[in-house]
Amino acid sequence: MKKVDGAESLLQAHGKPEKEVYFDNGNSGWVPPEVVEAMLPYFNKYGYGHPSITNRPGWEAYEAIYEASEQIKKSIGAEFPEEINFTHNFTEANNLAITGTALANKTKGKEIIISEIEHYSVMFPCEELQRKGFKLIKIPVDKEGFVDLDKLSSAVNKNTLLVSIMAVNHEIGTIEPLKEIVEIVKDKNPETIFHTDASDAYTKTPLNVKRTGVDLLTLSSHKIHGPRGAGALYVKKGVEVEKIIYGSLSSQPLWPGVENVPAIMGFSKASSLAFKKFKEYNKYLENLRDKLIKGILEEVPDTLLNGPLGNKRVSDNANISFLRVEGEAVTVELSLHGIYVSSGSACTSRVLEPSHVLLAIGRKYEEAHGSVLFKLMRFHKREDIEYTLKVIPKSIKRLRKISAIKS
């Protein structure tokens, strides 16, 4: 890891911005005081022990994890707290879901199906399994990111071991028809195990594991204003998943090692806060999102919205391609004005490769390179959006003047 050349001096030379607006919540978000307060006792007051050790601090830690399991269970309509398996992030949970399922059930079939727009923490373990003898099928999506249901139905057969389709796309906010997708898969092969990465859907769209019929479901703490260091995998009772790392026993049979109790308690608190006013928060987010999208598309020429409009799009997502500029240049330019966004996929932001998601929905390379992701939060105010809409047209105009991309 090396220091970013010139970034600090550039920001210092530009001076303090008029206002700061953080739109990078998909990568790492602000943690509210109530969540921090819920975590603090588990560092040094109580529950700081090892949850698997039979002493008082260990019992307190175990009780805390059980309490968090109950909250997460309730929030997704699961039946048993034991169905919630805590990891340290959603990348670990996705890897456990994919690889653990394949290892535990390889005698049932060797075919795995995913969409072309899955997160890399789903796509990469699937590709690794392909190198080890499994067959991987990637289902295409339409221009808004919706999975081709006919092609999905045609792909499922008696050898299909696992299907993994995300509930909401991390980059373009497409809300997939999850219940319909699960029904298509189960109708073709009831034995096929279905996993969904719901980390971008959680607290933004209704999730109920019983109603949708999923077998495995991934959640993330840092995407719901919880701390980094906690994620979860729901595993339906009776579904076989083999652990993929080995070590000391813990209260998490599928993920050995000492649990991050403070982060888990923060995750639980963030979940309860988000669901306290679920409809109100998301309606508010939708209004801010629509104001931002409408303002950019109207005030900045040669822009493209990536993903669908309206209720087909998750409430906190706005992904815009600015033609004739590089997305990386936009992130730096907006940072100078205190507006913090990400360019393209968060996982490729330091690699000059276009987003695989945007290419899958039919964007040209130059369109994908100019993409910027705005991830809103319920703590934003209307004046944050108004300030952003004041800054962006001037910033894009300036960048286009100095850009080497002319068409």
- Inside any domain, residue 171: yes
Active site amino acids:
347
Report whether pLDDT(340) > 60: yes
Single out the residue in 227, 260, 276 at which a domain terminates.
276
- The model's pTM is 0.94
Average pLDDT on 244-257 reads 89
Same domain assignment for residues 285 and 271: no
Give per-residue pLDDT as tens, 59-80: 999 999 999 999 999 999 999 9
Give CA–CA dist 230/65, Å, rounded. 12
Same domain assignment for residues 134 and 21: no
Same domain assignment for residues 297 and 272: no
Domain that holds residue 108: 33-276
- Inside any domain, residue 1: no
Single out the residue in 218, 243, 276 at which a domain terminates.
276
Give CA–CA dist 119/391, Å, rounded. 31
- Inside any domain, residue 288: yes
Average pLDDT on 216-224 reads 98
Give per-residue pLDDT as tens, 10-46: 566 667 888 999 999 999 889 999 999 999 999 999 8
Same domain assignment for residues 141 and 51: yes
Per-residue pLDDT at 353: 77
Positions of E strands within 149-281: 160-164, 193-197, 216-220, 231-235
Q: How far is CA 60 from CA 47, 54, 66, 183, 301, in A?
A: 5, 10, 10, 41, 58
- Inside any domain, residue 150: yes
- Inside any domain, residue 407: no
How many beta carbons lie within 10 A of that of residue 65, not counting itself?
A: 23
pLDDT band at 6; cut points 50, 70, 90: low
* Burial zone of 242 (CB within 10 Å; 0-12 exposed, 13-18 middle, 19+ buried): middle
> Taking Cα atoms as reference points, which of 154, 153, 147, 157 lies closest to residue 116?
147
Task: Please list the residues that pair with 234 across neighbouring strands.
Answer: 84, 217
Average pLDDT on 195-201 reads 98
Average pLDDT on 94-111 reads 96
Annotate 337-351 with DSSP letters as a single string: TTEE-EES-GGGTTS
Q: Give me the number of domains the chain comprises.
A: 2
3-class secondary structure, 113: strand
- Inside any domain, residue 2: no
Give per-residue pLDDT as tens, 266-292: 999 999 999 999 999 999 999 999 999
Per-residue pLDDT at 349: 46
